[in-house]
Chain A
Amino acid sequence: MDVDLLIGIFPQVLLDGIILGFMYALIALGYTMVYGVLEFINFAHSEIFIVGAFVGVEILLGLKAAGLLEALPWVLVLLLILAAGMVVSGTLAVVVERVAYRPLRNTPRLIPLISAIGVSFFLQDAIRLFESLWNNSFNLVYPTIDALNHRFEITETIDVPMKSLVVIVAALLMLWALHAIVRRTKVGKAIRAVAEDQAAASLMGINVNRMISITFLIGGAMGGAAGVLFGIQYGLINPYTGFIPGLKAFTAAVLGGIGNIPGAMLGGLVLGLLEAFAASYLSLLTGGAFGAEYKDIFAFSVLILILIFRPKGLLGEVVRERA
């Protein structure tokens, strides 16, 4: 075994894991927002997330066709597609809630889960239908923005591209913003009240339906932003791309303690690091007997272990269990 190699790649793997972790954390925020209020796994969040990515790529392709992509400063372009993705995904999430979840508010919790799975199936192929009529292709590629591809070399072997830094900064900003909204504003207080007890909140004059819509709006907008950043980071998207990262992000949310916003961030980081280290090191350490293909087994096994010792996730659940 080549010990130098093992040590040599360590910082880069750490960096890979952190970037992946922030990506998961960004998506996980949407799951956790909704779960915190409704105690309901919004299975369709992975599609709401990928819709954001599609909005981003459509605008970029439009700008490119108009020749504006090179002309405009990249920060402006980035902010523009982020805002557009957030608006569309947020609106979609509100619509989905209004149509497919609200009528099921008082049914056993598995019923909205199945409805969400139905929405997820529907949205996947609806995106496909739309894109194949619009573009005659549903595998879309993000045009490269040179400034975002610039790599900062830390040492000769370790470097980090601009776009990954953008992901990290965006994730931290969004975490902070979300925290501020939920903790410091009146709306946040109302949302927390609804999460605590819907009936009591409504007696206190809080419009429960409106608060839940706002929750979906925020969660969806987070998903949309995550989608745009996902597209910039990895390049290729199709209507089915969102499913697996969505599942992983959901795992991350549970790992950190679902409903808990800092928990989602921590869960994402843990999962991202686990995956990166498993994929990079397993093959080197076992001489090729086990390899990168075991990274999901590794991640899920650790998840099970953590949940055995901390059944409410790493940071615990914020929602109180209802008696």
Chain B
Amino acid sequence: MTLLNRPLPATILVVALLALTAYGVSHFPRSIVVFMLFQASILLLYFARMPSWLKGVLTAGTLGVLMPVLGSINAYYLEIAVQVGIFVALALGLNIVVGLAGLLDLGYVAFFAVGAYSWAIFGSPHANSIFGGGAFPLAGWWFFVFLLVGVAVAAGAGILLGLPVLRLHGDYLAIVTLGFGEVIRVLANNLDKPINITNGPKGITPISRPPIFFDPVLRALGIEAGPNVVYPLYLYFLVLIIVGVTVLVNRRLEDSHVGRAWEAIREDQTAAQAMGVPLVRMKLLAFACGASFAGAVGVLFSAKQVFINPESFTFMESIGVLAMIILGGMGSIPGAILGATVVTVLNLQVLKGLSLWLNELRNAGIEIFGYNLANLPTQLEPAKYERMIFGLILVLMMIFRPQGILPARRRHRELEEPR
């Protein structure tokens, strides 16, 4: 750690590690372990002390160049990166509501659903069954308009939820938001009659993707790439931009008077009101802001998946996002990012990798302590117990590092003091 505090050795170390691990991934494209080392080097980059411009350049280089290159070697890694991005944006949005304003929201995924369905309905032929005619799907470029529509609709839903619950505190708020989340999901599951709006459990497909407007540029550069190659990269960069904007907005908000007002409400509502914080406006703003990010990524999610149905928007997803920000450190932007990354990587990569690895050990018939793994009964198959391990990790994290991995500085002080 001391090495990381001195700029020059830190820079050299981090660059060397990034280069080495990236080379490692290109050499062993199937190795989860090597890819994790690469991810760890990115984390190290965050911790290393170096001039901020240099850090910016290195981050941009890693995420903008290295990651896509590695992603084109193994598409699975790019998919993980895209999903990490989606969950980072969701976590940052929820961080505003829960982390900054202290309003416990257990139905956050509802806003994600609202965004996703807004593009899914109009970006697919499904809208024809509502409005008649054959005007739909809308052309691909509408996708960019719908990013804003998604923001607006989700923010509207946020205010809609915020209005009735202004008087509620703590766990009453939690249960109402939980109810709201379920209501949105059940509505999505049921609104195939009397008017078919969401097509119910059967879901909506095919959903248009944004057009490859830079196709002429690619051709001019002599790159002949089919949509199968372009789209994952394209979506990756879109996610990167959305996450970038989200981080920027979050940072500006945090240090603005609005952010301070939210934190004041979180710490002591009565005192905040006495100091002249407009409670109603600030709470509604928190709900709307938090929801709007979810709306934007929702639009992107539906374009990425090409198909959506209500199964993606269950209560468990809300809980998952909440776990991310608490794991990362409540109210902290780097914490939310790291929390989302850790949980997603854990779920999609580490636990899956572990199961596959154990499965290969079985297939190879390796003996451990004289016990042949091929004889392992199917009841003990590792793939079945991923959630159990995740639960265990959650508990252990909370016990040994309750402030989260990267706690917010202000929050940190508060935790040190006895309640």
B179 to chain A: which residues have CB within 8 Å?
251, 300-301, 303-304
Q: How many A residues have CB within 8 A of the partner chain?
A: 52
**Residues of B327-349 whose CB lies within 8 A of A:** 327, 330
Check B183–A118 contact: CB distance below 8 A: no
Task: Take A124-B387, A296-B186 as given contacts and tell me if A118 and B395 are in contact as well, using a CB distance cutoff of 8 Å.
Answer: yes
A191 to chain B: which residues have CB within 8 Å?
none
Check B385–A129 contact: CB distance below 8 A: yes
Closest to B386 in A: A125
Closest to A258 in B: B171
A258 to chain B: which residues have CB within 8 Å?
171-172
Task: Take A107-B415, A308-B164 as given contacts and tell me if A125 and B319 are in contact as well, using a CB distance cutoff of 8 Å.
Answer: no
A111 and B387 CA atoms in complex are apart in Å by: 19
Check A41–B174 contact: CB distance below 8 A: yes
Cβ 8 A contact of B398, one of A111, A125, A136, A303: A111
Check B392–A307 contact: CB distance below 8 A: no
Check B387–A108 contact: CB distance below 8 A: no
Cβ 8 A contact of B183, one of A111, A254, A301: A301
Cβ 8 A contact of B330, one of A108, A115, A121: A108
Chain B: minimal CB distance from A50 (Å) = 15
Chain B: minimal CB distance from A167 (Å) = 24
B399 to chain A: which residues have CB within 8 Å?
100, 103-104, 115
A308 and B180 CA atoms in complex are apart in Å by: 14
A297 and B310 CA atoms in complex are apart in Å by: 15
Task: Take A117-B319, A254-B175 as given contacts and tell me if A307 and B168 are in contact as well, using a CB distance cutoff of 8 Å.
Answer: yes
A133 to chain B: which residues have CB within 8 Å?
377, 379-380
A221 and B303 CA atoms in complex are apart in Å by: 49
Chain A: minimal CB distance from B131 (Å) = 20
A294 and B188 CA atoms in complex are apart in Å by: 11
Chain B: minimal CB distance from A90 (Å) = 20
Check A114–B186 contact: CB distance below 8 A: no
Check A115–B395 contact: CB distance below 8 A: yes
Check A120–B391 contact: CB distance below 8 A: yes
A11 on interface, CB distance cutoff 8 Å: no
Check B180–A311 contact: CB distance below 8 A: no
B219 on interface, CB distance cutoff 8 Å: no
**Residues of B164-192 whose CB lies within 8 A of A:** 164-165, 167-172, 174-176, 178-180, 182-183, 186-187, 189-190
A120 to chain B: which residues have CB within 8 Å?
391
Closest to B419 in A: A106
B392 to chain A: which residues have CB within 8 Å?
118, 122
A144 on interface, CB distance cutoff 8 Å: no
B418 to chain A: which residues have CB within 8 Å?
106
B180 to chain A: which residues have CB within 8 Å?
300, 304
Q: Is the interface of B mostly helix, strand, loop or mixed?
A: helix
Chain B: minimal CB distance from A38 (Å) = 12
Check A121–B175 contact: CB distance below 8 A: no
A296 and B107 CA atoms in complex are apart in Å by: 15
A118 and B183 CA atoms in complex are apart in Å by: 25
A313 and B175 CA atoms in complex are apart in Å by: 11
Check B379–A119 contact: CB distance below 8 A: no
A258 and B385 CA atoms in complex are apart in Å by: 34
A112 on interface, CB distance cutoff 8 Å: yes
Check A114–B175 contact: CB distance below 8 A: no
Task: Take A119-B395, A122-B395 as given contacts and tell me if A136 and B379 are in contact as well, using a CB distance cutoff of 8 Å.
Answer: yes
B319 to chain A: which residues have CB within 8 Å?
117
Closest to A138 in B: B379
A104 to chain B: which residues have CB within 8 Å?
398-399, 402
Check A311–B167 contact: CB distance below 8 A: yes
Binary B-proximity of A289-320 (CB < 8 A = 1, otherwise 0): 11001101100110110011001110000000
A122 to chain B: which residues have CB within 8 Å?
388, 391-392, 395
6 additional contacts, CB 8 Å, given A290-B194, A311-B167?
A111-B398, A112-B398, A128-B384, A294-B186, A297-B190, A321-B169
Cross-chain pairs A/B with CB under 8 angstroms, 22 sampled: A35-B171, A104-B398, A104-B402, A107-B398, A110-B98, A110-B322, A110-B326, A110-B330, A114-B326, A115-B399, A118-B393, A119-B395, A121-B388, A122-B388, A124-B388, A125-B384, A129-B379, A129-B388, A251-B178, A297-B190, A307-B168, A308-B167
Which residues of B are interface residues toward A (Cβ below 8 A)? 98, 104, 164-165, 167-172, 174-176, 178-180, 182-183, 186-187, 189-190, 193-194, 315, 319, 322-323, 326-327, 330, 377, 379-380, 384-385, 387-388, 390-395, 398-399, 402, 415, 418-419
Which residues of A are interface residues toward B (Cβ below 8 A)? 35, 39, 41, 99-100, 103-104, 106-112, 114-115, 117-126, 128-129, 132-133, 136, 247, 250-251, 254, 258, 289-290, 293-294, 296-297, 300-301, 303-304, 307-308, 311-313, 321
Which 9 residue pairs spanning A and B have beta carbons closest together?
A121-B391, A118-B394, A300-B179, A122-B391, A125-B388, A118-B395, A115-B398, A132-B379, A289-B194
